[in-house]
Amino acid sequence: TMACLTAIDAGDALGAFVHKTPEIALEQARAADARLKAGDAPSMCGIPLGIKDLFCTKGVPSQAASNILGGFRPEYESTVTTKLFDAGAVMLGKLNMDEFAMGSSNETSCYGNAVNPWRRGNDDTALTPGGSSGGSAAAVAGDLCLAATGTDTGGSIRQPAAFTGIVGIKPTYGRVSRWGIVAFASSLDQAGPMTKTVQDAAIFLQAMAGHDPKDSTSADLPVPDFEAALTGDIRGKKIGLPREYRMDGMPAEIDKLWADGAAMLRDAGAEIVDISLPHTKYALPAYYVIAPAEASSNLARYDGVRYGHRAKLAAGDGITEMYEKTRAEGFGKEVQRRVMIGTYVLSAGFYDAYYNRARKVRALIKRDFEEAFAAGVDAILTPATPSAAFGLGEMSSADPIEMYLNDVFTVTVNLAGLPGVSVPVGLDKQGLPLGLQLIGRPWEEGDLLNHAYVLE
Ligand code: GLN
């Protein structure tokens, strides 16, 4: 913990920590020492973690990187952080992210962006750590903490993990409680670990998972021993390579990485098969209808009355002006865009044309995966991202759609509620990390991580 606190102070340039909690960290570390001395060593005992700013942490600023939550200190602790602390973990502070987890580059944060510790060869251009869990990725890759929490609605754990050469798993929807995590798109959001190794991910996921009566979508299922599943034995397993993920214009390096990953799994005794997930091409449009729709509804609560920021009002302003001014000042551009898209697709005249249609497409995407698994596929291997980390400002200045295209390989997994893990597998020509994604059967995170273990 002391070493991490020193590294965090020396690593301010990464912009990873937006709120440091050294007093809490030292107190938790001392308590962990005492537990160890007493012969009680829970799985996360004394492990110093960074916590994404999306998690409510009692008495500690929790702003989801938004000005609208300025000054908000929750009265309660999220289920995930409660479980981690019960398992002996130490909180070093809160981590940067895209505002309300909307973004793929960490550039929509009210704190300014986090920076990727990696560089392209000798080029000094600052690169994105990805998003929305960009601060988590930068902190783990930059050795400021041993691991971090992330959340993933359309790829926000897996894409930043791939951009920074670390491991990130989005569990099956319902595996981890969402209680006390600021909601973005409730039917897609899942929290998960971002770690240096697959083994760490298994231990960390075990500590954060499990049924929670406070989240009605949390599954009442036992949590298996994920670490015990890491045998490295995948003989006889069937790995699907979906042909629809072979995009036009995909860099040759990504193609090669994918083939290399498949070869590694084959060498370990798995059978590689070509599969088809025919509705893949509709996933991004469906996601960018469903996620904003749910976001517009979830973000209605930020009204200037209940939380954080309230605009200064002029004489004669009524409640409508208070809402309007507060939300115009408190929400950044991307969040405003999502609220407007979401409100539009849910409006009476357009509901069937957009929202209902997107829900139908979602069901078809889910069925594609079910059919692949029913045909005996154990895991699906794809690239995690269409490129390596890009330069800060390179995408955000372009059309927003350009940024949305980054999520092309990851959003299907959230729409289908499946577990997906991103594993660092190689470097591009400029020396930047590249990741592959493995997608597994629902509730089989152990088996999924075992495949990732072989690729690592
Ligand atoms: N980049 C995607 C979005 O902006 C995913 C974000 C996430 O997973 N939280 O919606």
State both tokens at 441.
Answer: 């059967």
Which residues, other chains included, contact 153 with Cβ-Cβ below 8 Å and sequence gap of 6+? Answer: 101, 132, 184, 185, 188, 189, 190, 291, 414
The sheet with strand 147-152 has its strands ordered as: 17-20, 90-95, 48-52, 147-152, 190-195, 167-170, 420-427, 433-440, 379-383, 238-242, 271-275
What's the confidence (pLDDT) of residue 402? 82
Q: Tell the residue nearest (CA) to atom 5 of ligand 1.
A: 154
**Tokens 């301010």 -> residue:** 12
Domain ranges of the chain: 2-229, 238-280+358-419+436-441, 284-352
Q: Could you tell me whether strands 167-170 and 190-195 are parallel, antiparallel, or unpaired per DSSP bridges? A: antiparallel
Sequence letter at residue 64:
A
Is any ligand 1 atom within 6 A of the Cβ of residue 291? yes
Cα–Cα distance for residue pair 100/443, rounded to 1 Å: 27
Q: Which helix (H) or strand (E) holds 141?
A: helix 134-141
Is any ligand 1 atom within 6 A of the Cβ of residue 412? no
Sequence letter at residue 134:
G
State both tokens at 80.
Answer: 């995930």
Atom of ligand 1 nearest to the CA of 404: 1
Which residues, other chains included, contact 112 with Cβ-Cβ below 8 Å and sequence gap of 6+? Answer: 15
For residues 53 and 65, is the Cβ–Cβ distance under 8 A? yes
Which residues, other chains included, contact 17 with Cβ-Cβ below 8 Å and sequence gap of 6+? Answer: 8, 50, 92, 93, 94, 95, 96, 135, 139, 144
Superfamily of domain 2-229 in CATH is Amidase signature (AS) domain (3.90.1300.10)
Is any ligand 1 atom within 6 A of the Cβ of residue 442? no
Is any ligand 1 atom within 6 A of the Cβ of residue 149? no
State both tokens at 208.
Answer: 């954060």
State both tokens at 88.
Answer: 């002996």
What's the confidence (pLDDT) of residue 443? 98
Which of 151, 156, 412, 422 has most ligand 1 atoms within 8 Å of CB, for mutation?
156
**Tokens 């770690």 -> residue:** 195
pTM above 0.90, yes or no: yes
Atom of ligand 1 nearest to the CA of 151: 9
Is any ligand 1 atom within 6 A of the Cβ of residue 116? no
Give the distance (Å) from ligand 1 centre to CA of residue 410.
Answer: 9
Cα–Cα distance for residue pair 207/89, rounded to 1 Å: 10
What's the confidence (pLDDT) of residue 400? 85
* 3 state SS of 90: strand
Q: What number of other Cβ atoms are within 10 A of residue 167's Cβ? A: 31
Atom of ligand 1 nearest to the CA of 406: 1
Is any ligand 1 atom within 6 A of the Cβ of residue 420? no
Q: What number of other Cβ atoms are within 10 A of residue 87's Cβ? A: 18
Indicate the DSSP class of residue 198. Answer: H
Cα–Cα distance for residue pair 12/346, rounded to 1 Å: 42
Which of 54, 102, 299 has most ligand 1 atoms within 8 Å of CB, for mutation?
102
For residues 76 and 180, is the Cβ–Cβ distance under 8 A? yes
What's the confidence (pLDDT) of residue 397? 72
What's the confidence (pLDDT) of residue 247? 86
Atom of ligand 1 nearest to the CA of 104: 1
Which of 132, 157, 188, 294 has most ligand 1 atoms within 8 Å of CB, for mutation?
132
Is any ligand 1 atom within 6 A of the Cβ of residue 407? yes
Per-residue pLDDT tens digits of the chain, which is 456 residues long: 999 999 999 999 999 999 999 999 999 999 999 999 999 999 999 999 999 999 999 999 999 999 999 999 999 999 999 999 999 999 999 999 999 999 999 999 999 999 999 999 999 999 999 999 999 999 999 999 999 999 999 999 999 999 999 999 999 999 999 999 999 999 999 999 999 999 999 999 999 999 999 999 999 999 999 999 999 999 999 999 999 999 888 899 999 999 999 999 999 999 999 999 999 999 999 999 999 999 999 999 999 998 889 999 999 999 999 999 999 999 999 999 999 999 999 999 999 999 999 999 999 999 999 999 999 999 999 999 999 999 999 987 778 888 888 899 999 999 999 999 999 999 999 999 999 999 999 999 999 999 999 999
Cα–Cα distance for residue pair 391/354, rounded to 1 Å: 33
Atom of ligand 1 nearest to the CA of 288: 10
Cα–Cα distance for residue pair 138/121, rounded to 1 Å: 18
Q: Which residues are known to be catalytic?
A: 52, 132, 156
Indicate the DSSP class of residue 99. Answer: G
How distant, in Å, are the alpha carbons of 35, 86, 136, 251, 453 from that of 255?
49, 43, 27, 7, 21
Is any ligand 1 atom within 6 A of the Cβ of residue 446? no
